[in-house]
Amino acid sequence: MEKIGNKITYARKNISTLESKRSRKDLMEKRENYFSQLGIILTGKCNIRCRHCMYNCQPDTKMELGWLVIERLIKEASAIENITQIHFTGGEPFLELDTLFKAVNLCKLLGLKVSVVTNGYWAVSVNVAKQILEKLDGLTLLEVSTDSFHQEFVSIDRIRNVILACNELGINKCVRVSFLNDPVSEIENIKKHLSPVEGLYELSQQPVLPIGRAASHINLDLIFSYDPKGVFCRGADFPLIISNGNVSACCGPSVSWLGDHPLLLGNIFKQGLKEISDAADLNPIIHILRLWGPSELVNLVKEQSEKDCCFFTPPMLDEIQNICSLCKFIIANPKYSRLLQRAILNPVVVYELAVRRMIELGEISMILKEV
C-alpha cells in the first residue's frame, strides 16, 4: 500500500497486464479510422441480470429505438463514406430477432459490414444456433460474452455451440471476457472451458468497470485498477447510439452521464447522422482522448485554471481506478468541463492535435481545417 497525505491507496497493477507490450506506433497503426464503426443499442432488454452490467440491463427494461429509426440510421450511415460497419449491441439483441434479421440484411444490401454482441443464450444446440445464424445474412462478426458473471445464467456449453455454428457458417467470432483483479487466471479458466473449440475463435478482454450494477453488486476492492497516466482511449474511436437517441463518444460510462457534456455528440432525433459525425470529427476533446488519454485533459484543465486564477485539485491516486474514472473526473464535473472547453480554444493546442492526428492516425480532416 502507498500512503498519500492522510489517504491510503492500494498499489496499482501496471497497464501492461492489460495491454500487450507492442509499441505505441504499432498500436496506432492498427487502429481504424475515426467513426468507421457505429454502435447501435438494438434493445436495452436482456434475459439475464449480470452483476457487472454497466447499463443495468434486465428482462423488464423497455429501451428501444424501434425498427423505423434503426432503418433510417442504417441508410444514413451507408451514405457516410467513412462508416464501414454497424455494431448492434444491447441488452441482448437476439431478444428482438425480427428487428435484428432486418437490420443485418439491410446492412448487407447497403454494403455495410455487421457485427453483433450476444450472451449466446439462444444456442441450445449447434443445429439451433446454425438455423438462427443462417437468417442473419450479412453478419460479419459475432461477439459472444462469457465470464464468471455471464456463466451464472448462460452455460459455457452454449458458447461452444455458438463458436461451432459460426465456424460451420464461415462467420468470424470473438469471445469477450470481463475480468476482475486476477485477469490471467480468469481468462485461462475461460480458455480451459473452451478447449474443445481451441483455435476457432478470437478472444478480447476488458476489466469490469465500477459503474451500473457493478457499483452495488461487486466488492469494489475486487475490481481491477491501474494507473491511467498516459493511457490513450480506443473506446472513443467508435461512437454509440442509445435508446433516447443520444450519440455517445464511446460505449463506456459516458453513456450514463447526465446533462450536456463534451462526450455527448448529439441526438439523432434532432440532427442527421452526417451532421453529428462531421462535428465529432473536429471535436478536439475526443481526439485528445484518442491520442493521449484523459491524463492530458487533466493537464489542460490544470493549465487553464492557472491562467484563470481559479482553484483546481487534481484527483488523488485512490480516487482513480482506470482511464474511464479519470475521464469522468474532468468531463462530468461542470466546472472542470468548462475549464477544458476554454483550454481547447487555444489555437496552439488545436494545431498540435491536428498535426499529431495526421502523423499517428493518418486522419487529415482537422489539419485541413487548420491550414
Low-confidence ranges of the chain (pLDDT < 70): 1-23, 29, 370-371
What pLDDT was estimated at residue 22?
A: 58
Neighbours of 127 (CB within 10 A): 13
Q: Which three cell numbers stand for residue 196?
A: 474443445
Q: Are the CB atoms for 256 and 215 separated by under 8 Å?
A: no
What pLDDT was estimated at residue 21?
A: 46
What pLDDT was estimated at residue 280?
A: 96
The HSE-up count of residue 332 (CA atoms within 13 Å, CB side) is: 12
What pLDDT was estimated at residue 197?
A: 97
Q: Which residue's entry shows cell 439451433?
A: 128
The span from the CA of 44 to the CA of 242, in Å, is 9
What pLDDT was estimated at residue 189?
A: 96
What pLDDT was estimated at residue 111?
A: 97
pTM: 0.90
91 cis-preceded (ω within 30 degrees of 0): yes
Phi and psi at residue 110, to the nearest 5° = -95, 5
What pLDDT was estimated at residue 9?
A: 34
CA angle 118–120–122, rounded 5-degree value:
115
The span from the CA of 108 to the CA of 114, in Å, is 8
Kindly provide the residue ranges of all beta strands, DSSP E only, lying in the chain, ordered along the sequence: 2-4, 7-9, 37-43, 85-90, 113-118, 139-145, 172-179, 202-207, 240-241, 246-248, 264-267
Q: What is the DSSP string of 195-264?
A: GGGTTS-EEEEEEPPSSTTHHHHS-GGGS--B--TTPPPSGGGS-EE-TTSEEESSSSGGGG--S--TTE
What pLDDT was estimated at residue 42?
A: 95
What pLDDT was estimated at residue 316?
A: 82
Going by C-alpha positions, the residue among 34, 36, 140 that lies closest to residue 80 is: 36
Count of residues in the chain: 371
The span from the CA of 315 to the CA of 336, in Å, is 12
Kindly provide the residue ranges of all beta strands, DSSP E only, lying in 146-199, ordered along the sequence: 172-179
Phi and psi at residue 341, to the nearest 5° = -60, -35
Q: Are the CB atoms for 198 and 182 separated by under 8 Å?
A: no
Which domains occur in the chain, in start order?
9-231 (3.20.20.70), 284-370 (no CATH)
Give the contacts of 134 (CB within 8 A, at least 6 positions apart): 169
Q: Which three cell numbers stand for residue 100?
A: 435484428
Helix (H), strand (E) at residue 365 = helix 365-370
What pLDDT was estimated at residue 363?
A: 93
